[in-house]
Structure 1
Amino acid sequence: MISIQNRITAFAKLGDFLSQFSNEGIIKKDNIEYNEIFFDVFKHQIKLSEEKNSWFTKDNLLFTLNTWSKSLNNNNLENFIKNSVISETFSSKKVAIILAGNVPLVGFHDFLSVLISGHSVLVKQSSNDKHLLPFIAKYLEHVEEGFKGKITFTEEKLSDFDAVIATGSDNTARYFEYYFKNKPNIIRKSRNSVAVLTGKETEDDLIKLSDDVFQYFGLGCRSVSKIYVPKGYNFDAFFTGMYAKRDIINNAKYANNYDYNKAVYLMSEFDLLENGFLMIKEDESYSSPIATVFYEYYDNEIDLKIKLYQDKEKIQCIVAKDFIENEVAFGQTQHPKLTDFADGVNTLEFLSNL
């Protein structure tokens, strides 16, 4: 059994290793354990990830790695587990995790949670994101030998496990709920994030909001896919903020989606506003297509708060300024803390009760 402190230390060392890979550059540092074995090979894994999935641009991959490197330090990891009942002597279970592939390393938080809780992990990856996590697992096994034998990857049908954490679409979630009904489970469905605008936002607020809209091309559950605006809202300021991300149209896959969705809207004679790389369309749905943000008008803040509460099972983040409890600041949706559990379900609590 690996001690809790040794688990924390291992993930902190992983954070140090990942700190060499950021949007400012890939820079090899001194005093990183096992760098001579892993640094160049990890650069190659990043390249493979980019080649395999054209949504996984180098910028997005490095953004992910840099974000995790900042989270994985001793202080953050100790705060992460301090309110959990993690015992040094409890019975270790094998926990299966089924990972989505919409953004790079999207299931890493579950992977971290299972291992830092002292359990073994059985990982079923998405075919869209297969290169980074197995390599990270190898690094962890080198810095902490006690992890050897506790991390398994499979492409086969899951078997021989005690609990499961699965993430997928609403359709796959229904399958998961049926298939895993006899096991302790966390089943995550599709969620989207929204922003509430009042018209009092500064130019800087809306530029930061462009990060929430465009990071990962809007494919993450923490990506803002819908905005709420007051009646009579002038969208000029919103589009001015979004203009900061105008170069996104240079990505061929994004541009193809933009052209396709624009053609569909025009043929359907929908009213929409667009600026050459983003369309906004009035729609009550939360999940908007790529290159599109839905919007909905509100009459008063109290009614909107009630609506957002009633729809909380569909919403991951609410971006706003002094509007609602647990709101996320502009520009911060893709910088969650370790304690920002997906869907508001405390994974560590679930794992400690197995």
Structure 2
Amino acid sequence: MDIHRRIEALDHLGRFLKQFSQPEPSMLDDIPHNELFFEGFKHQIKLAGEHNPWFNPSQLAFTFEGWSDLLTTSKLKKWMAAYLLENQSPKTIGLVMAGNIPMVGFHDLLSVLILGHKASVKMSSNDKHLIPYLIKYLETVEPSFKNKVNFDTQNLKNYDAVIATGSDNTARYFEYYFKGKPHIIRKNRNSVAVLTGQESKEELQALGEDIFRYYGLGCRSVSKLFVPVGYDFDQFFQGIYPFRDIIDEIRYANNYDYNKAVYLMSLFKIRENGFLMLKEDEGYASPIATLFYEHYSDADTLQKKLEADKEKIQCIVGNTLEEAIPFGMSQRPGLKDYADGVDVIRFLLSLA
């Protein structure tokens, strides 16, 4: 199977996912094998939400919308055009996936499959329903994908290289366990926003999407603000006010109440608006319903700090730094936006 057939099949998968890009799925015409898979995927979505209550219909629909937008022939070809794709002997790549947000490991699997390799996948118990079903759809659209993906319930077996994602603690285990194979090991990272005080109301509202999407559980979720000395937080709270209904989500509200109680008992000074707390803290990984913030005095000093802490940061949101992405876009990565900045395609192409 050449890469053109693989891309065509992935384009079909993208069109299939388009049907689920709203909380209430809607069948479209001319979707291959739709009669076999549409109702089945609706059931998998239901199972995913029952198994992991953070995966509610709107969050899942957002995920499917993102992938349906990326899995098009034109975007896939443009992605691959940046690489010299020579004939490679097929390898088996072990994938250890996280489960903090829906389908978070799919980009790694896509990278493996589009190059013609096989995947041995260890799914997270928090997200085990969606990707296996979509692979069944892909195998039906393009039978050459059959036996390309094996989902391991225990430890990975018979692999040539590994891509593993986990916490800082599990990363130490991964480093030891996979030390004999080429590997990419990912640790905890968080995303930050840099504010100047000159942001418009629309930009701050867009920042709310970066903060609240997936309830702040993703590595691309903004968990910390860098603000200038003397920053007026009222304008920030006004900008994110449209997201106030998030407090109606029981799991989010429970985290809000628990963390607020901890802060108050510990006599920490916090700012809050009824659905988000701000705590001055030098850390990056803020708890759910909390955003850390840190003041900066000048842009040069801030730039040096961000550079020194780059191994802790997934992405920077803002409109002043060259490397920053626009407000509202942290949860809409493109095909070339590799986790931790490590180019997975180049890693796979480097395998002998």
Q: Do these two structures clear the TM 0.5 threshold for a shared fold by scoring above it?
A: yes
Question: C-alpha deviations, 1:235-278, integer Å up to 9, x for none?
Answer: 00100112111111111111111000000000000000001110
1:29 aligns with 28
Unmatched 5+ stretches in structure 2: none
Residue 297 of structure 1 corresponds to which residue in structure 2?
295
* Partner SS state of residue 196, structure 2: coil
- Partner residue, 1:332: 329
Report deviation, 1:347. 0.2
Q: Residue 147 of structure 1 corresponds to which residue in structure 2?
A: 145
Pairing 1:60–2:56 present: no
Aligned AA (1:242)? I
Query: Identity rate of aligned residues, in percent?
Result: 57
Give the secondary-structure state (helix, strand or coil) at the position aligned to 1:21. Answer: coil
Determine the C-alpha separation between the residues in 1 that align with 2:304 and 2:78: 32
Contact map agreement 1:21 1:27 (CA 8 A) in 2: yes
Q: Specify the alignment match of 1:343 in structure 2.
A: 340
8 Å contact 2:18–2:64 — kept in the other structure?
Answer: yes
TM-score normalised by the chain length of structure 2: 0.99
* 1:313 counterpart SS class: helix
**Matches of 1:25 and 1:312, distance apart in 2:** 40
TM-score by length of 1: 0.98
Q: Encode CA deviations 1:184-214: one digit per residue, 9 max, x unaligned.
A: 0000111000000000000000000000000
Partner in structure 1 of residue 178 of structure 2: 180
Give the deviation of 1:85 after TM superposition.
2.8
Structure 1 segments unaligned to the other structure (5+ residues): none
Matches within 5 A, 1:193-342: 193-321=191-319, 323-342=320-339
Q: Secondary structure at the match of 1:27?
A: coil
Tell me if the contact between 2:17 and 2:64 (Cα under 8 Å) persists in the aligned partners.
yes
Structure 2 residue aligned with 1:192: 190
State the alpha-carbon separation in 2 of the partners of residues 50 and 241 from structure 1: 30
Task: Tell me how far 1:24 sits from its aligned partner.
Answer: 6.4
1:131 aligns with 2:129: yes
The Cα shift of 1:170 comes to 0.5
RMSD: 0.8
2:104 corresponds to: 106
Q: Which amino acid aligns with 1:169?
A: S
Structure 1 segments (4+ residues) deviating >6 Å: none
Q: Is the contact made by 2:121 and 2:156 (CA closer than 8 Å) also made in structure 1?
A: no
Q: What is the letter of the counterpart of residue 157 of structure 1? A: N
- Answer with 78-87 or 248-257: which moved more: 78-87
SS where residue 215 of structure 2 aligns?
helix
Alpha-carbon distance between aligned partners in 2 of 1:136 and 1:24, rounded to the nearest angstrom: 18
Structure 2 match to 1:18: 17
In 2, Cα distance between the equivalents of 1:85 and 1:148? 26
Deviations 1:5-63 (A, max 9, x none): 01111111100000001136411011000000000110111111111101111110111
